[in-house]
Chain A
Amino acid sequence: MENREQLNRNLAQMLKGGVIMDVVNAEQAKIAEDAGAVAVMALERVPADIRKQGGVARMSDPSLIIEIKEAVSIPVMAKARIGHFVEAQILEALKIDYIDESEVLTPADEKHHINKKVFSIPFVCGATNLAEALRRIAEGAAMIRTKGEAGTGNVVEAVRHMRAIREGIKTISGMEPQEIMVWAKENGAPYELTCEVAKNGKLPVVNFSAGGIATPADAALMMQLGAEGVFVGSGIFKSENPQKTGEAIVKATSDYKNPQVLAEVSRNLGNAMSGLEIAQIPEDQKLAKRGW
């Protein structure tokens, strides 16, 4: 494997067991870092606001990203629209640490994702199942996150997607090569990568969970289901007490198998962000349906 691809997968390994938090300014970035975030996602509006306000959601203003980069020592990520390779070029020029090719922003290309292999900077991409994850990895993603349904504070979609990936891995694990070819064909998955996963029983890159995590218990749930870390978008800065909620989610993600610790950190957090029932979201407003 090429040097750069390996190094980019390696950075994701360093984030494992940690929480990546959405922040919209330098002040929030500092709060996130102090609360124990392993990285911050710099953006102009958290998904809950994008959902509420509507309109086209684009890459953030570079000056905001730079401001956030200068405020913290942890890695800084930022979002580019699906297929918008020029936004990705700009983010690479800003020398951030990771690009999220994200369904939370309005897609720029209905058919094509970014060819991430031509970039030096690493990408994380969303996925709703194993085949989708493998398509993104084949395009050069160095890290995967389950999509969930961002901005809802409802963990049900994140659970669905994590279970789908697990189930996919289980399905192909016992297969013979000719059966893997059929599975790859039927699911639109790249064959070589499918073989690799069938052999190793896990994705070749780190897999986090995202989209709807709002409480320490949600974070621990995703970890126990096999996530290697979590992204929390609106869940922290849309809660009543962001600092405390952030700290609690960090601790819950780190010691996710320990109910004593989970009980302790879940106490007196104030109101979590208000949630959305998935069934109430019109089909065309579901973010997880963006990308393929």
Chain B
Amino acid sequence: MKTVGVLAFQGSVIEHKKKINEAGADAREVRHPEDLNAIDAIILPGGESTCITRMLNEFQLMEPLAQKIQQGLPVWGTCAGAILLSRNVDGQPNPLPLGIVDIDIERNSYGSQLDSFQYQTPVSFLDNRQVNLIFIRAPRIHSVHTCENLLNIEWKQQQEIVAVKQNNIFITTFHPELDSGCTFHRYFIDNYIKTP
């Protein structure tokens, strides 16, 4: 069985673990460098990116995680997780070694909690299934350079990029772990983890 890790410092950890199990894989919490050896992929969950960044450094996990990802460990960043993985954050180069996805992202770009929203749309890479996307104080992807733009929505008369893929890395600015169903988790497990 495939094992998917969830970076477990803070945020929607339990929600992701439940979805991983629903999608038929094992879930494992990741806090320490040795936890990385037992997983086939990792999810960086929603939460507060400043707090999670601090914990990655405190627990000496930043470098080993970045190394694993560069070596091909499949990774999925949702919301805060997406910020950690972006090359440019708020107009500045991301100082973290994790910042390798070729996009410009802006934190809390839609506003305060009053601007959090849901959006229903069919998703082409999920066989056009209709899904509910949940954005909580979400970051906004301003531009996509060399990576693949997977999903656009139109929100308040603007085109928004909300999911991208770069080789082994999947990024969503919304939270599939908060909605019913596990189609996104199944997609990630089936398409990013290579079976030996």
Contact = CB atoms under 8 A, between A and B. Distances in A.
Given A16-B10, A38-B10, A254-B55, A7 B117 contact: yes
A18 B10 contact: yes
Interface string A243-273: 0000100110011000000000000000000
Given A13-B12, A75-B137, A36 B111 contact: no
A18 B48 contact: yes
A13 B54 contact: no
A17 interface: yes
A155 B41 CA distance: 40
A7 B31 contact: no
A35 B137 CA distance: 21
Interface in A108-153: 120-122
Given A37-B51, A75-B137, A17 B58 contact: no
Nearest to B80: A14
Interface residues of B, number: 34
B107 interface: yes
Contact of B113 (A13, A33, A121): A121
A16 B175 CA distance: 15
A10 B55 CA distance: 22
A8 B113 contact: yes
A98 interface: yes
Interface in A1-55: 3, 6-8, 10-11, 13-18, 33-39
Q: Is the interface of B mostly helix, strand, loop or mixed?
A: loop
A74 interface: yes
A7 B136 CA distance: 7
Interface string B1-30: 000000011111111000000000000000
A187 interface: no
Given A7-B134, A14-B136, A251-B55, A98 B113 contact: yes
A73 interface: yes
A250 B118 contact: no
Contacts of A8: 113, 116
B9 A14 contact: no
Interface of A: 3, 6-8, 10-11, 13-18, 33-39, 73-75, 92, 95-98, 120-122, 247, 250-251, 254-255
- Nearest 6 CB-CB pairs, A to B? A17-B10, A97-B113, A36-B54, A38-B48, A36-B51, A95-B112
Interface of B: 8-15, 31, 46-48, 50-51, 54-55, 58-59, 79-80, 107-108, 111-114, 116-118, 134, 136-137, 175, 178
